[in-house]
Amino acid sequence: MPADFLIHQLGANGDGMYSSDRGPVYIDRALPGDVVQANIQSGAGGVLRGELTKVVTASPDRIDAPCPNYDACGGCTLQHANDQFYKNWKVDIVRSALDKKGLQPESWHKPIFSFPGTRRRATFAAFKKKNTVTLGYFRRRSHQVTDIATCMVVEPGIMALRAGLVQSLAPILQDGKAADIFLQSVHGQVDMVITGPVGKAGKPDLQVYEGVAELAHKLNINRISWRTNERDAPEVLLEINPVRAKFGPLDVALPPLAFLQPTKTGEDAIVAAILARLPETGKFADLFSGCGTFSGPMLARGTVDAYDSVEPAIRALEKSKGAKPLKAICRDLFRNPLSSDEADRYDAIVFDPPRVGAHEQAKALATSKTPLLIGASCNPATFVRDARILVDGGFAFESIQVIDQFTWSHHVELVAVFSRRS
Ligand SMILES: C[S@@+](CC[C@H](N)C(=O)[O-])C[C@H]1O[C@@H](n2cnc3c(N)ncnc32)[C@H](O)[C@@H]1O
């Protein structure tokens, strides 16, 4: 008779947790309150993992997952919980990260949740065999690509493109090899980047160029680029029209693979949170600026110095059209963070680092006299590490807002405000 396990909480990645004599067991797709049966195995690092085989008693928060691919697809982790449970969980991820560092913001703003079907970028896994392309996502806990014709998370327009790509990619990709297909949709314009071997020799040849031209015209794709692997810069194979984005008064021609906030709802919410606290006038810095998502709207209040280490993003900002009390500076803020003296020149500093956070930069900001810091983060774990440094340096932790742009996953975004104690 298989054993029953009572799930008491969710782990960091959204797995249900059961306390066994041998330590915690993480059971895929189980919820607190569920009693389940599972095949338990020791995984990487000796962590005990369970594959759910039966829900014996369902948690009151359990629902039927709305996506028809939920069982096969490795994309979403928490579609089997009701909306209120899901939303509370997202806020609790941030709350428990703060608790671990003894951080207490003075206020919590109302969380904002992006709707399903609003994610504006997707990376599909592609595999060509005997001239047939499989295009979708990896299976759960596997490296096998599975065709995914419907995805409830990304914009419907992106999924419509995927259907067209299945046919059109065959003359471009290499047989028996895997590639990634990145699609980003910006105000109806589409940027596409292929990562992996193409053509007969693994790089673009005449057939690839012809295939790319046909595909771009047939599917109305603005630009198609290619790179061998993730470490390479993409090479533009064809650009019919530039992909342009508007950030406040700025009109920016985006480079391939440009970072954009994953949803427009998320972008608007972060910008609103920044503007709600930014002084009416002043001299501002936007650290980890990307192509100017925040710098643009901040220009309405004063001058902005935008810093990022990715040269194409900074070049795009320099060449952007629109109001220009803006300076775009290419600088690696990990190796060469803004010093506290440099930071002192600004009336407010916005920072939005990648997932690894801004450890060195936070140390320098902590000793600066800058009156206001506004941080955005997509990783609560690194955010709390950096926030602790700022609070220990004498900043008051004014507020936090959870902004969910990663529907049904364990990822969550936040915006936080810190002010220098007088
Ligand atoms: C989360 S994105 C934010 C971009 C921008 N704030 C936006 O909302 O579009 C993080 C940014 O950090 C930049 N970045 C990564 N490592 C960096 C480094 N060492 N120094 C400076 N910028 C870096 C990336 O190029 C990217 O634009």
- Ligand 1: residues with CB < 6 A are 259-261, 288-290, 293-294, 308-310, 313, 332-334, 352-354
CA-260 nearest atom, ligand 1 = 9
Distance 359 CA to ligand 1 centre (A): 14
When pLDDT is averaged across residues 147-166 and rounded to a whole number, the result is 92
Which tens digit of pLDDT belongs to each residue from 336-357?
999 999 999 999 999 999 999 9
Of 49, 42, 37, the C-alpha closest to 4 is 37
Q: In angstroms, what is the span from residue 353 Cα to ligand 1's centroid?
A: 5
> CA–CA separation, 123 vs 115, rounded Å?
19
Residue nearest ligand 1's atom 17 by CA: 309
Buried residues in 245-274 as b, exposed as e (16+ CB within 10 A): bebbebebbbbbbbbbbbbbbbbebbbebb
Give tens-digit pLDDT for 170-182.
Answer: 999 999 999 999 9
pTM: 0.94
Q: How far apart are CA 401 and CA 54, in angstroms?
A: 37
168: phi then psi, degrees, rounded to nearest 5: -75, -20
Mean pLDDT (the chain) is 95
Looking at ligand 1, which atom is closest to the CA of residue 332?
Answer: 20
Q: Do 408 and 77 touch, CB atoms closer than 8 A? A: yes
Pocket test for ligand 1, best of 121, 259, 351 (most atoms within 8 A of CB): 259
Domains of the chain: 5-62 (2.40.50.140), 86-116+260-420 (3.40.50.150), 121-243 (2.40.50.1070)
What average pLDDT does this structure show over 219-226? 97
Q: Which residues are catalytic?
A: 378
User: For ligand 1, what atom is nearest to the CA of residue 270?
Assistant: 8
Q: pLDDT-derived band of residue 406, with 50, 70 and 90 as boundaries?
A: very high
337 alpha carbon – ligand 1 mean position (Å): 13
Contact 223, 236 (CB under 8 A): yes
Contact 370, 341 (CB under 8 A): no
Q: pLDDT, tens digit, for every residue of 54-107?
A: 999 999 999 999 999 998 887 899 999 999 999 999 999 999 999 999 999 999
- Site to probe by mutation for ligand 1, drawn from 309, 311, 351, 414 as the one with most ligand atoms within 8 Å of Cβ, is 309
